[in-house]
């Protein structure tokens, strides 16, 4: 009997200790769960931050893709414009705003070349009719240097063409072919999207050879370059100047069309 009582007393004394240990374990487990929950919250926040950064990067990528597409479209339009002008020269026509060159007094067997166009057969091409400040025929050396640069331009080698026209203008600044050389120098830069340097070449043409048949086209291209450089006010003023000073020319018609498009874009 005494042993039974002692055993019951022992179990009774042990029960609170077991309850305390169980409570401590529960508290420990709760603390671990809270820590895990806090860790999950931090992880969720990090994921949210990464998702926001990814969305921003995607937006930047889309904007860059849009700008790249605009550049590609602009370059395609410039190449098309260049090809159109060169095609007219090859077929004996003249660029916009420039009349074709008259044949030599003693016409050769071939058809007369367009202003500034290289000869199709052997022998020097007739000098371009610039209508500018330097009347007269180009010397054989001048014509050969000009034709070499123009040949590179027509072949699509714009770097060599620009170098050739620059060298020509340095060596023959008083040549009757100088206005044409300035124009095609500007074109070689324009088609490769080097707009600041293209503007400089076109502006020299306009300033130095105001009576040249190339001036209307050169001034039009100044406006085009200003558009590409986001100089909207200057571009609008230049295009209006083309329309005012050269009414009825192809350059004036192109200026009016481009001005209309530019004003629509500005309004939107």
Tokens 């070689």 map to which residue? Answer: 188
Statement: residue 132 has pLDDT above 50: no
Distances, alpha carbon 139 to alpha carbons 18, 111, 176, in Å: 116, 21, 9
Supply 176's token pair: 């009757």
Residue with tokens 């620009």: 162
Number of residues written out for the chain: 268
* Distance between CA atoms of residues 152 and 157, nearest Å: 5
Average pLDDT over every residue of 231-260 = 95
Condensed to tens digits (0 to 9), the pLDDT of residues 159-200 reads: 999 999 999 999 999 999 999 999 999 999 999 999 999 999
**Contact call for residues 149 and 181 (beta carbons, < 8 A):** yes
* Number of neighbours of residue 9 by Cβ within 10 angstroms: 10
- What's the rounded mean pLDDT across residues 68-84? 52
**Domain positions in the chain:** 43-81
Does position 148 have pLDDT exceeding 50, yes or no? yes
> What's 110's DSSP letter?
S
pLDDT computed for residue 98 by the predictor: 37
Mean residue pLDDT of the chain comes to 73
Residues of the chain with pLDDT > 70, as a percent, come to 60
User: Coil, strand, or helix at residue 263?
Assistant: helix
- What residues contact residue 11 under an 8 Å CB cut-off, 6+ apart? none
pLDDT, position 131: 37
Q: Looking at 73-77, 115-119, 171-175, 222-226, which range is the least confident one?
A: 115-119
Q: What H or E segment, with its residue span, contains residue 43?
A: helix 2-90
- Specify the pLDDT at position 99: 34
Output phi, psi for 210, to 5 deg.
Answer: -65, -20
Tell me: the pLDDT tens digits for 188-197?
Answer: 999 999 999 9
- pLDDT confidence bin for 35, thresholds 50/70/90: confident
Residue 135 has pLDDT above 80, yes or no: no
> CA–CA separation, 166 vs 162, rounded Å?
6
pLDDT computed for residue 44 by the predictor: 75
Given this model, what pLDDT does residue 97 score?
Answer: 35
């Amino acid at each position: 009997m005494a042993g039974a009582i002692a055993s019951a007393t022992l179990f009774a004394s042990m029960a609170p200790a077991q309850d305390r240990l169980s409570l401590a374990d529960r508290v420990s487990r709760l603390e671990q769960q809270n820590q895990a929950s806090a860790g999950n919250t931090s992880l969720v926040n990090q994921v949210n931050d990464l998702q926001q950064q990814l969305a921003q990067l995607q937006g930047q990528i889309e904007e860059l893709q849009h700008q790249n597409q605009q550049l590609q479209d602009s370059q395609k339009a410039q190449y098309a414009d260049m090809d159109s002008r060169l095609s007219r020269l090859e077929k004996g026509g003249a660029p916009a705003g420039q009349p074709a060159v008259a044949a030599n007094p003693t016409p050769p067997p071939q058809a007369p070349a367009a202003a500034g166009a290289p000869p199709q057969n052997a022998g020097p091409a007739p000098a371009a009719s610039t209508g500018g400040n330097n009347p007269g025929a180009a010397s054989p050396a001048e014509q050969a240097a000009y034709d070499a640069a123009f040949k590179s331009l027509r072949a699509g080698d714009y770097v060599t063409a620009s170098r050739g026209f620059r060298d020509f203008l340095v060596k023959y600044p008083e040549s009757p072919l100088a206005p044409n050389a300035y124009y095609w120098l500007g074109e070689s830069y324009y088609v490769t999207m080097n707009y600041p340097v293209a503007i400089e070449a076109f502006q020299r043409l306009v300033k130095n050879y105001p009576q040249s048949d190339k001036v209307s086209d050169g001034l039009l291209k100044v406006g085009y370059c200003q558009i590409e450089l986001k100089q909207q006010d200057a571009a609008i003023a230049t295009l209006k100047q083309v329309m005012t000073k050269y009414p009825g020319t192809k350059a004036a018609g192109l200026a009016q069309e481009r001005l209309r498009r530019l004003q629509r874009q500005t309004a939107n």
